[in-house]
């Protein structure tokens, strides 16, 4: 019982405690590629990403144990190994496009791409630096290396940039070694792409090439996750002489973590790597499957990354080149990168036995991949033992006993009963850091369990009237028209009731733009009632805990706090005072909570602006603005789907609210 969760001492070092020779490449000029956007619409692929990693490697003392290499520009003929002439001249032309609007127009021709004046230089340095790192490792001047580069590369295809990627850095370096530097004796390269997105570009570039084993584990979500489509399916196994040399492990859903990835390592990647016997491993090291990432929705801990990397160290004499791809939570990517560099230096990860089990869906995916590839890799042929695949996680609850030790209670609930929507792996169950204080901070604060017992009606009049949009606040995610995803509530259970009601309040649209919807006003409800007015509201019965999580998200605050914004005492107060301004979010646009009465004994609450904001809208201090098209459409479809109004009536209703003077 005890030994299961214990930390084994990590005395084993590959060479008596001495560091291996690890190269690091970083160059500030790669920050000259940035999104030309207003601050509120922060682009996740931002210059701070590489700064965050570089600064933690330095402050933690790891950088000085490494060999710092100079970033290098890529040569045209090396780009041409994987990219078309046209693509190369496009990227090279960006620096001489002299207006932001022209660059934006150009970028808009592609999928998820922006350009700045410095994009040409940054892209050249990113590609050139991965070549430099790979060449030094191939020559044996270094044992391994980590190129901290951006823009990332794995989505970039032969003839087009996409998914924040301009040049395919990893593919270029791979092709360089295999084709231009036969002298260095690197004849087989394993590419491990652990970025949360499928490496579509890299896959295509080596699809028929038996010298490259491309392995990608990524969210697939039935082909709906970025880059979407079926390229990331496990049936894509390679063609011609490259048959069997393309391995995709497509997650059915998010929330995959250390246990899921390690199951894939142990049951697919490592056995195949033993057969393939690579001369070098290049890791497309995105850290967007890390816990805390705003795009990935997965939860690999830094410790998880260190085990994944450590298991690769036994191949190719430890010749590993890591190249940064995605990863959008600055803290997550920095701590994940630190864990990896630590492994590269030591050649050994601290051995912590994981207590978590993979999802049932993970075993399903692993079995599908093994079946699909077993014709090429007989080692994947056998059935997995029942006792292995029966160990799954549905819900894990963390409890602590009096001695402060923790143990997991894993409830075996069949997945048919518990839909994935209901499955939560609480943050508290994840070993984010070995520091116990950190662990403590990740425990569910007690206010959550208290407020989870109290129900309220959350009355919505804006985009949340549309159920699919509201669900993003509970389950996480984004729908059409939204420019950024929601993290969702900690408690992802569905509302206990949904009803529509009209209220005698004025609906209007104001403010300039929002991070979620872009330019245009957003809906507000006048906090005071007015018998002439009739607003349609959709009421969701949710817990007070979930209501707080909506408030956090509505005001761009972190869910992981030790205090709620609106507690039971506030709920008592509001029923007599009618409205409460939430102190913590004074700056927020929806900081005024209004009590709209009760419905079947449960209080009805809404969020809107304060009366003083209304004054400022009326005086012109803050702008009144009609909604943008996507936002208006969301409101209209919300009303139509909720069977409140016909499409014509709904448009007229929104039209009137946007044009009638306040
Ligand atoms: N609805 C990397 O991680 N998302 N790229 C666009 C459009 C693009 C991620 C969403 C995600 C690209 C390198
Ligand atoms: Zn990614």
Cross-strand partners of 280: 189
Q: What is the rounded distance in angstroms from the CA atom of residue 489 to the CA atom of residue 572?
A: 23
**pLDDT exceeds 90 at position 148:** yes
The whole-number average pLDDT for the span 54-60 is 96
| pLDDT on residue 37 | 74
Q: Say which ligand is closest to the CA of 478.
A: 1
**pLDDT exceeds 70 at position 354:** no
The residues, ordered by sequence, that sit 6+ positions from 557 with a Cβ below 8 Å of its Cβ are: 551, 565, 584, 585
The whole-number average pLDDT for the span 135-159 is 98
Residues lining ligand 1, judged by CB closer than 6 Å?
112, 152, 155, 163-165, 195, 197, 226, 286, 288, 325-326
The whole-number average pLDDT for the span 164-181 is 98
Q: List strands edge to edge, sheet with 535-543.
A: 497-503, 535-543, 455-460, 602-608, 592-599, 579-581
Residues with CB under 5 A from ligand 2 (ion): 195, 197, 286, 288, 326
**pLDDT exceeds 80 at position 133:** yes
**pLDDT exceeds 70 at position 355:** no
List the single range of 3-17, 410-424, 450-464, 475-489 with lowest mean pLDDT. Answer: 410-424
Q: Identify the residue whose C-alpha is closest to ligand 1 atom 3.
A: 326
Q: 433 alpha carbon to ligand 2 midpoint, in Å? A: 23
| pLDDT on residue 551 | 87
Pocket probe for ligand 1: among 49, 295, 324, the residue whose CB has the most ligand atoms within 8 Å is: 295
Pocket probe for ligand 1: among 163, 216, 296, the residue whose CB has the most ligand atoms within 8 Å is: 163
**pLDDT exceeds 80 at position 426:** no
**pLDDT exceeds 90 at position 604:** yes
| Residues 93-131 pLDDT 10s | 999 999 999 999 999 999 999 999 999 999 999 999 999
Q: 520 alpha carbon to ligand 1 midpoint, in Å? A: 24
Please, where are the H alpha helices in 265-377? 270-276, 302-312, 330-346, 360-373
List the single range of 27-31, 394-398, 569-573 with lowest mean pLDDT. Answer: 394-398
| pLDDT on residue 415 | 29
Cross-strand partners of 147: 25, 323
Q: Is the dihedral of CA 38, 112, 245, 183 positive or negative?
A: negative
| Residues 201-216 pLDDT 10s | 999 999 999 999 999 9
Q: Which atom of ligand 1 is nearest to the CA of 325?
A: 13
**Mean pLDDT of all residues in the chain?**
88
Q: 487 alpha carbon to ligand 2 midpoint, in Å? A: 17
Q: Which atom of ligand 1 is nearest to the CA of 327?
A: 3
The answer to whether 50 and 121 have CB atoms below 8 angstroms apart is: no
Q: Say which ligand is closest to the CA of 149.
A: 1
Question: Hey, which residues are catalytic here?
Answer: 155
List the single range of 288-292, 354-358, 410-414, 542-546 with lowest mean pLDDT. Answer: 410-414
- DSSP 8-state secondary structure symbol assigned to residue 585: G
| pLDDT on residue 586 | 61
**pLDDT exceeds 70 at position 601:** yes
Report phi then psi at 384, rounded to 5. -75, 145
The whole-number average pLDDT for the span 379-386 is 93
Q: 215 alpha carbon to ligand 2 midpoint, in Å? A: 15
Q: How confident is the model at residue 478 (pLDDT cuts 50, 70, 90)?
A: confident
Task: Report, in this order, helix, strand and coil percent for the chain, each rounded to 5.
Answer: 40, 20, 45
Q: How confident is the model at residue 7 (pLDDT cuts 50, 70, 90)?
A: very low
Q: Which atom of ligand 1 is nearest to the CA of 196?
A: 3
Portion of the chain with pLDDT greater than 90, in percent: 74
More confident call, 181 vs 417 = 181
The whole-number average pLDDT for the span 495-502 is 94
| pLDDT on residue 585 | 65
| pLDDT on residue 14 | 44
Q: How confident is the model at residue 352 (pLDDT cuts 50, 70, 90)?
A: low
**pLDDT exceeds 60 at position 295:** yes
Q: 556 alpha carbon to ligand 1 midpoint, in Å? A: 21
The answer to whether 550 and 489 have CB atoms below 8 angstroms apart is: yes
Q: What is the rounded distance in angstroms from the CA atom of residue 440 to the CA atom of residue 59?
A: 24
Q: 387 alpha carbon to ligand 1 midpoint, in Å? A: 38
Q: Which atom of ligand 1 is nearest to the CA of 286?
A: 3
Q: How confident is the model at residue 165 (pLDDT cuts 50, 70, 90)?
A: very high
Q: How confident is the model at residue 286 (pLDDT cuts 50, 70, 90)?
A: very high
CA 262 to chain CA centroid, Å, is 19
């Amino acid at each position: 019982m005890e030994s299961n969760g214990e930390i084994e001492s990590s005395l084993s070092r590959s060479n008596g405690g001495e560091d291996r020779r690890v190269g690091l490449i970083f160059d500030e000029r790669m920050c000259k590629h940035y999104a030309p956007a207003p601050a509120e619409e922060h682009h996740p692929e931002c210059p701070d990403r590489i700064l965050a990693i570089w600064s933690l490697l330095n402050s933690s003392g790891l950088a000085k144990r490494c060999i710092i290499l100079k970033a290098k520009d890529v040569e045209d003929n090396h780009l041409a190994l994987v990219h078309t002439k046209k693509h190369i001249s496009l990227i090279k032309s960006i620096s001489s496009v002299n207006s932001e609007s022209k660059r934006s127009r150009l970028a808009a021709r592609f999928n998820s791409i922006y350009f700045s004046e410095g994009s040409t230089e940054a892209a050249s340095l990113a590609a050139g630096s991965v070549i430099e790192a790979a060449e030094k490792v191939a020559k044996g001047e270094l044992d391994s290396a980590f190129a901290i580069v951006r823009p990332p590369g794995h989505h970039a295809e032969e003839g087009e940039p996409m998914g924040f990627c301009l040049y395919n850095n990893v593919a270029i370096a791979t092709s360089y070694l295999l084709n231009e530097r036969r002298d260095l004796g690197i004849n087989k390269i394993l590419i491990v792409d652990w970025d949360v997105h499928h490496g579509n570009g890299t896959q295509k570039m080596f699809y028929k090439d038996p010298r490259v084993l491309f392995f990608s584990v990524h969210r697939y979500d039935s082909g709906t996750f970025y880059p979407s489509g079926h390229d990331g399916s496990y049936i894509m196994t390679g063609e011609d002489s490259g048959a069997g040399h393309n391995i995709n492990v497509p997650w059915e859903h998010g929330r995959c973590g250390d246990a899921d990835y390690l199951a894939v390592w142990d049951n697919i990647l490592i056995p195949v790597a033993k057969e393939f016997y690579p001369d070098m491993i290049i890791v497309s090291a995105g850290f967007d499957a890390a816990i805390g990432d705003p795009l990935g929705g997965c939860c690999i801990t830094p410790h998880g990354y260190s085990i994944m990397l450590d298991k690769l160290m036994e191949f190719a004499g430890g010749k590993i080149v890591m190249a940064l791809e995605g990863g959008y939570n600055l803290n997550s990517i920095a701590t994940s990168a630190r864990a990896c560099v630590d492994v590269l230096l030591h050649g050994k990860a601290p051995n912590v036995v994981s207590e978590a089990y993979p999802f049932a869906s993970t075993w399903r995916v692993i079995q599908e991949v093994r079946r699909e590839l077993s014709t090429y890799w007989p080692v994947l042929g056998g059935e997995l033992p029942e006792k292995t695949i029966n160990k799954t996680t549905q819900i894990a609850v963390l409890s602590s006993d009096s001695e402060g030790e923790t143990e997991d209670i894993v409830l075996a609930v069949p997945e048919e009963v518990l839909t994935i929507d209901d499955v939560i792996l609480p943050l508290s169950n994840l070993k984010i850091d070995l520091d116990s204080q950190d662990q403590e901070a990740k425990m569910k604060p007690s206010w959550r369990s208290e407020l989870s017992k109290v129900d309220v009606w959350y009355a919505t009049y804006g985009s949340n009237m549309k159920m699919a949009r509201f669900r993003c606040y509970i389950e996480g995610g984004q729908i059409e028209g939204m420019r950024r995803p929601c993290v969702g509530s900690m408690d992802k259970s569905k509302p206990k009731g949904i009803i529509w009601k009209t209220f005698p309040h004025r609906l209007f649209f104001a403010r300039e733009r929002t991070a979620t919807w872009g330019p245009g006003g957003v809906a507000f409800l006048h906090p005071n009632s007015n018998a002439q007015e009739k607003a349609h509201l959709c009421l969701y019965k949710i817990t007070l805990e979930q209501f707080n999580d909506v408030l956090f998200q509505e005001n761009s605050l972190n869910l992981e706090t030790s205090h709620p914004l609106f507690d039971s005492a506030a709920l008592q107060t509001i029923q007599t005072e009618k409205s409460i301004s939430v102190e913590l979010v004074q700056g927020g646009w929806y900081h005024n909570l209004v009590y709209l009465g009760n419905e079947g004994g449960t209080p009805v609450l809404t969020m809107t602006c304060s009366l003083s904001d209304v004054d400022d809208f009326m005086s012109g201090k803050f702008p009144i603005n009609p909604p943008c098209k996507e936002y208006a459409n969301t409101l209209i479809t919300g009303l139509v789907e909720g069977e409140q109004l016909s499409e014509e009536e709904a448009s007229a209703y929104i039209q009137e609210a946007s044009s009638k003077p306040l």
